[in-house]
Amino acid sequence: MKKLLFAGSLTLCLCFSSLFVGQTAFAAQAESENLGLSCKSAYCMDANSATPVYAMNEKERLPIASMCKIMTLILSFDAVESGKMSYDTVVPVSQHAMSMGGSQVYLEAGGTYTAEQLMESVTVCSANDACVALAEYIAGSDDIFVQRMNERAKGLGCNDTLFANCTGLPKDPQYSCAYDVALMLRELIKHDKYFEFSKIWTDEFQHPEGRTTLITNTNKLIRQYQGCDGGKTGFTNEAGFCLAATARRGETRAISVCIGSADSKSRFAAVSRMFDYTFANYSDREVYPAAPLEEKLCVKNAKVTEIAVIPERPVRYFCKNGESGAELTRTVEFMPVKAPLHKGDKVGEMTVFKDGAEYAKVSLLALEDAEKATIWDYYRRAAENWAI
C-alpha cells in the first residue's frame, strides 16, 4: 500500500482545542461551571466525535427504566438493515407481549401490526407491549433478544450496562450509566428513519379492527427546546425520572443524559442546561471537506494513468471556543488498484492526526471510472513515450 505523508505546508495550525486531552479534563472543566443539575448522574458529549463536555457520576451503575428501549430500537433497526425484517413486515402479537402493562399502545393479542408501527410506538410513547412484540419476532423470544441487547452493548463499549428485559420494567439485576446511555443514543441516531419517529408529537395508532390509540411523545423537549429532535424518557420508582436526548444547532449536535431526577421537570431542566452549556461554549467545524484531493491515484492497466479521489465524508473538529494549540496533519494511503475501476469504489484511506494521535479515518473513493486499457492504448502510450 502506497503511503504519502503530508506535513509542513499541509499541516493545519488551528485555533481549536484538543479533542483527546482526556475525558477527565473536559468533565472537570464543565463541572467547574456549576450547572446545578438535579439528578444522580449526568453526561453530555458531542454526537459526532463523542468528545465529552460534561460529566457527573457518569460511570455509576443505576437503573435507567425505559431508556433501555434505546437498545431495543437499535436492534430493531439492525434487523431492518440485515434484511431480517422490513418496515412493512407484519409482526404478530402474542398474549405475553399484550400483557406487559406500564406504558403501552394496547396491542391486540393475536393481531398483527407492521414493524414500522411498532417501532414508532416504542419511540414516541415508550410502548412496552410493542417492545416485546418486536423482540419476539426478531429473536424468537424476548429472553434471546435480551442476550443480543447485552452483546450489542458490549460491542459499543458499554462496559457498565446489563439488560434484564427489553422494556426497562423493574427486574434485577439490570443497570446502566449515563456514559453508556449516551453511547447507545449516539448509535441509534445514525439511522435517519429514527428521526421520522422521534419528531412526532402526537399520532393515531391504528389497530387491526379499526380501533385507534392516541400516542403522545414523552420527550417534551422536542417542543420546548430549540434543536431537540430525538431522545428517550424513562421512569420507575427505582430509577427516578430519566432522560437521554439529542439536539442540533448549526453543525453541532449534542447528546445529553440524566439519570435519577426527583421529578419530570428536573430531568428536562438538567438536559436543557447541558445543551445550553454545549452550544454556548463549543463548536463543530469542518477542517477537511469532502472535496477532491491534490493527490491522484495511479491505476494499473487503465486507459488513463491516474484518476481523482475524494473523501467519503468531510472531517469535522469539535472544540471549545477560544482555545488554541491544536495541530492536525493527515496521511493518504492508496490501495493497489487496477482497471476496471468504477466511480465510488473505495481506493484508500485518509487518516487525520491531532498532535500525533489518530483523530479520524475516512475512506477515499474514486471520483471517476477507469476503464481497462486495450492493446491500442498500450501501442499509443508506447508511441508517445518513444516520441519523447
Comparing CA positions, the residue from 170, 168, 183, 195 lying closest to residue 67 is: 168
Q: Which residues are catalytic?
A: 66, 69, 126
CATH 2.60.410.10, the chain: domain bounds: 2-17+289-387
The mean predicted confidence, pLDDT, of the chain is 89
Looking at per-residue pLDDT, the higher value among 385 and 347 belongs to 347
- Condensed to tens digits (0 to 9), the pLDDT of residues 167-221 reads 999 999 999 999 999 999 999 999 999 999 999 999 999 999 899 999 999 999 9
The mean per-residue pLDDT over the stretch 242-267 comes to 97
- Condensed to tens digits (0 to 9), the pLDDT of residues 13-44 reads 333 333 333 333 344 344 446 799 999 999 99
The yes or no reply on domain 33-284 and CATH 3.40.710.10 is yes
- Condensed to tens digits (0 to 9), the pLDDT of residues 281-332 reads 999 888 899 999 999 999 888 788 889 999 999 998 888 888 755 678 999 9
Asked whether residue 384 carries a pLDDT value surpassing 70, the answer given is no
Q: Which pLDDT score is estimated for 379?
A: 61
Q: What is the DSSP string of 135-163?
A: HHHHHSSHHHHHHHHHHHHHHTT-TT-B-
Nearest 5°: phi and psi at 360?
Answer: -155, 150
Q: Assign 123 a pLDDT band (cuts: 50, 70, 90).
A: very high
Nearest 5°: phi and psi at 317?
Answer: -135, 120
Q: Which pLDDT score is estimated for 305?
A: 84
CATH 3.40.710.10, the chain: domain bounds: 33-284
The yes or no reply on domain 2-17+289-387 and CATH 2.60.410.10 is yes
Q: How far apart are CA 16 and CA 281, in angstroms?
A: 12
Q: Which pLDDT score is estimated for 382?
A: 64
Task: Indicate the SS3 state at residue 124.
Answer: helix
Q: Assign 338 a pLDDT band (cuts: 50, 70, 90).
A: confident
Q: Which pLDDT score is estimated for 380?
A: 67
- With beta carbons less than 8 A apart as the criterion, state whether 152 and 75 touch: yes
- Condensed to tens digits (0 to 9), the pLDDT of residues 153-167 reads 999 999 999 999 999
